[in-house]
Each structure stands twice: as structure tokens, then as C-alpha cells.
Amino acid sequence: MIVSGHEETNVMTADWVTVISYKPFMIGIAIAPKRYTHKLIKQYKEFVVAVPTLEMLKDVWIAGTKSGPGKMKNMGITFIESKKVKIKSIKEAVANLECRVVDERDYGDHTFFVGEVVDYTYNKDAFEGGKPNMQCNFLAHVALNEFVTFEKETHKI
Ligand SMILES: Cc1cc2nc3c(=O)[nH]c(=O)nc-3n(C[C@H](O)[C@H](O)[C@H](O)COP(=O)(O)O)c2cc1C
């Protein structure tokens, strides 16, 4: 999920999120210009990437199907202060990556915003020994309204 805005806080669901550099830590997100989030990122040049869990599914769906901060009245997430950016983080998320926009470019019908991760917070139980704990119900999107969590076993090659 992408959190944006200063005085008014907005949140939208996004699949098209990727790490693009380790050092410095950078993340890219593809956001369509018609999203309210697009306007807020252009304005404040900051955003937070919040990693949701299965328990947040209802809110993930609302954030991904309704537009603008008004959707928040139907959602159950709690916003908390971030460490380095003025955008809020989400308390219930397993991780919040605080990003400052360092580049942006339009590709087709989306804008690719590149954010440098200037700080982050995360649930220590969800990242035991530096890798995701599969018991923590990380949410993954399959298609349209279908979501899954990761299976508990990993397969090593
Ligand atoms: C699972 C899911 C993934 C989505 N991924 C993206 C995405 O990567 N980029 C995008 O621009 N919109 C994406 N959307 C659509 C936006 O979340 C949706 O249009 C939302 O209402 C925008 O909110 P806003 O106008 O308040 O910013 C996705 C929606 C869902 C349900």
C-alpha cells in the first residue's frame, strides 16, 4: 500500500512496486496519473510503502477500489508518525518504507516514481534473521479480487 499526503493522508493499494537498488536503498512504484495518490506524490515528493498482511485484506481492497482520503472513514487502519518523512506510516503493516522521490518519468499510462528509502520501521517478528517469516501472513495479489499468503514451507535448490 502507498501512503501519501501531508495535511490529508491518503492510501492506495499498489502491485507495481519493486526494489531497484540495495545501496542506496531505492524503490520504484508505477502510479497512474488519475490516482489521487499521484497528485499527492507530485506535490510532496514523498511516499511510504506499507506492507500489508492478510488481516488487512478488507482495507487493502477498499484502498484499491475507492479514490481519495474520504475512503478512510470505512477503513480500520491506524496512521502513526514516520521517522524521517512527513507522510504517515501504517501501524498494522509489517513494514513501512519511508521514501523521498529522487526521480519520476511517465511510461505509457503510468508514472514511475523512484523513491530513496530514507528510513523504515518493521515488525521484528515478521523478519526473523533478516528474512520474511512466512507465518506472518504477508499478503500477495493473484488477480482482480484474489489474494493469497505464502505457504509455510520454503523449497531450497
Ligand atoms: C490489488 C490492487 C493492486 C493495484 N495496483 C496498482 C498499481 O500498482 N498502480 C496503480 O496506479 N493503481 C493500482 N491499483 C488501483 C488503485 O489502487 C485504485 O485506483 C485506487 O482507488 C487509487 O486510490 P487513490 O485515487 O485514492 O489514489 C491497484 C488496485 C488493486 C485492488
Q: With bands split at pLDDT 50, 70 and 90, how would you rate the model's confidence at 129?
A: confident
Q: Is the pTM of this model over 0.95?
A: yes
152: part of which helix (H) or strand (E)? none
Q: What is the pLDDT of residues 21-71, one digit of tens each?
A: 999 999 999 999 999 999 999 999 999 999 999 999 999 999 999 999 999
Domains in the chain and their CATH numbers? Answer: 2-124 (2.30.110.10)
Protein residue closest via CA to atom 15 of ligand 1: 64
Q: 73 CB contacts (<8 Å, ≥6 apart)?
A: none
SS3 per residue for 133-153: CHHHCEEEEEECCEEEECCCC
Give 68-121 pLDDT, tens digit per residue.
999 999 999 999 999 999 999 999 999 999 999 999 999 999 999 999 999 999
Atom in ligand 1 nearest the alpha carbon of residue 32: 11
61 sits in which H/E element:
helix 57-65
Contact 134, 150 (CB under 8 A): yes
Q: Is 68 in the pocket of ligand 1 (CB under 6 A)?
A: yes
Rama region for 124: left / alpha / beta (φ>0; ψ in -120 to 50; rest): alpha
Distance of alpha carbon 51 from alpha carbon 46, whole angstroms:
17
